[in-house]
Each structure stands twice: as structure tokens, then as C-alpha cells.
């Protein structure tokens, strides 16, 4: 079993209303043996940015069509998180997303005790299929997490798939690496800014784990 991780940064600004590896071993008789193992790498292409957020509003980055929704808010500066996964075709993978802690100001703010912005998988926690993430099945080296101008046009080979839960903080999906040897995971989510939060730049981290299971 081989496992690698990728870490993405969550960014919000609250504003006012305006490869294959071989291992060889030899002994004194000069006989040698080698084990060929599957390679596995992850590359964080783009961090997740919810852009500018007004107090008392929420924002939803929808992975299913790479669009943005907000109620009484502003749309500005958003991008989806993108992680590219590379391995040998045909290997079985488990992709696990660990939900981040609440997003917090980059620096302490005088007069405020632990201000934070909660992060959620999706608007309704009871809907297990409406998850933050989807996968570009054959990978896309050119997609940089940008919001799509025409959300009715899906990315090629994009699939939400089926995500299972581990408690309330982890979601995972099992995949088979396609012939292309690459998958791209697209990550969004939901945030809500309370009316009493101070203006600041809020950040957090999300960890994606990939494990070869065969």
C-alpha cells in the first residue's frame, strides 16, 4: 500500500458591504532481485479561494458545474481547488478528503475572541451525494480551478462520483486509474460569514489523501 497527501489552502477575504520505481538487491553470489512498485504522486495545482465575502452572507463553490452561488453576496476572486493525481493505469485508488477546521484570521485581532468562518461540504448536511468535490476522470493538465463562464457546459470527463463518509470530517471515493494515468480532483464547498465577524483575511487547510489499495 502506498499513500501520498496533498494540502490545499482555503482563502477568504471578508469585506464591507460595498513514476515506476525498481528496487534491486544483490548478495555475495551476485544474484539479484527486483520489485517493481506502482508510482503515485499528487500535485496541488490551485488552492481554494472563496474570494470576497460580505458579512451575513454565504457562498457555494459548486464542483458539479464549476459555478458560484451566493445569496445577497458578491462574486469576486473565486477559484476551485485542483489536485492532480498521477499513477500507473489500472491501479485501485482510495481518495480521501479531510474537512478543514474552521477558517480563522491570519493574524489575531484585538477585541475579538476566536472569530471563525465555518466550512461545510454542501448546503444541506443530510444530502450525502451533494458533495463539494468531483473528479475529471482522465485528468486535465490545463484546468486551473477557474470559475466557468457557462456553468451549463461541464468539464470533459467530469464526474461527481459516489463519496462515502467517515464520521462528519472525512469523505472518500474509490477509483481505478484510467489509461491516461491521471485524475484531477476539483474541490469547492460552502462558507457562511456571521454578522459579527471582523473584517480580515481568513484561511484554513484541507488535506487530500490518496492510497493505492492493490
Domain count, the chain: 1
Tell whether the model's pLDDT for residue 209 goes beyond 80: yes
For position 117, what pLDDT does the model report? 86
Above pLDDT 70, what percent of the chain? 74
Q: What is the pTM of this model?
A: 0.80
Q: CA 174 to CA 82: how far, in whole Å? A: 18
Residue span of the structural domain in which 29 resides: 2-212
Integer CA distances (angstroms), 77 to 74, 113, 178, in order:
10, 28, 33
DSSP designation for 184: E
**Cα 39 → chain centroid:** 21
Q: CA 99 to CA 122: how far, in whole Å? A: 11
CB 143, CB 184: distance < 8 Å: yes
CB 140, CB 43: distance < 8 Å: no
Mean pLDDT over each residue of the chain, to the nearest integer: 77
Note the pLDDT tens digit of each residue in 80-98.
Answer: 888 999 999 999 999 888 8
Note the pLDDT tens digit of each residue in 7-44.
Answer: 556 555 555 555 333 333 434 445 555 555 578 888 88
pLDDT band, very low/low/confident/very high, at 151 (cuts 50, 70, 90): low
Note the pLDDT tens digit of each residue in 115-139.
Answer: 888 888 766 554 544 556 788 888 8
Amino acid at each position: 500500500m502506498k499513500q501520498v497527501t496533498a494540502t490545499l489552502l482555503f482563502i477568504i477575504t471578508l469585506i464591507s458591504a460595498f513514476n515506476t520505481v525498481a528496487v534491486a538487491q544483490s548478495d555475495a553470489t551476485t544474484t539479484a532481485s527486483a520489485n517493481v512498485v506502482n508510482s503515485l504522486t499528487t500535485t496541488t495545482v490551485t488552492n481554494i479561494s472563496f474570494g470576497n465575502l460580505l458579512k451575513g452572507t454565504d457562498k457555494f463553490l459548486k464542483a458539479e458545474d464549476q459555478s458560484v452561488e451566493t445569496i445577497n453576496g458578491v462574486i469576486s476572486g473565486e477559484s476551485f481547488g485542483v489536485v492532480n493525481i498521477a499513477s500507473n493505469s489500472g491501479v485501485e485508488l482510495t481518495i480521501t478528503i479531510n474537512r478543514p477546521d474552521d477558517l480563522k484570521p491570519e493574524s489575531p485581532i484585538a477585541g475579538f475572541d476566536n472569530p471563525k468562518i465555518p466550512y461545510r461540504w454542501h448546503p444541506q448536511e443530510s444530502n450525502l451525494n451533494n458533495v463539494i468535490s468531483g473528479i475529471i476522470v482522465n485528468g486535465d493538465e490545463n484546468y486551473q480551478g477557474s470559475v466557468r463562464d457557462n456553468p451549463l457546459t461541464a468539464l470533459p470527463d467530469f464526474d461527481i462520483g459516489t463519496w462515502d463518509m467517515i464520521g462528519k470530517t472525512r469523505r472518500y471515493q474509490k477509483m481505478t486509474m484510467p489509461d491516461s494515468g491521471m485524475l484531477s480532483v476539483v474541490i469547492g464547498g460552502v462558507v457562511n460569514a456571521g454578522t459579527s465577524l471582523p473584517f480580515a483575511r481568513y484561511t484554513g487547510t484541507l488535506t487530500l489523501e490518496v492510497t493505492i489499495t492493490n
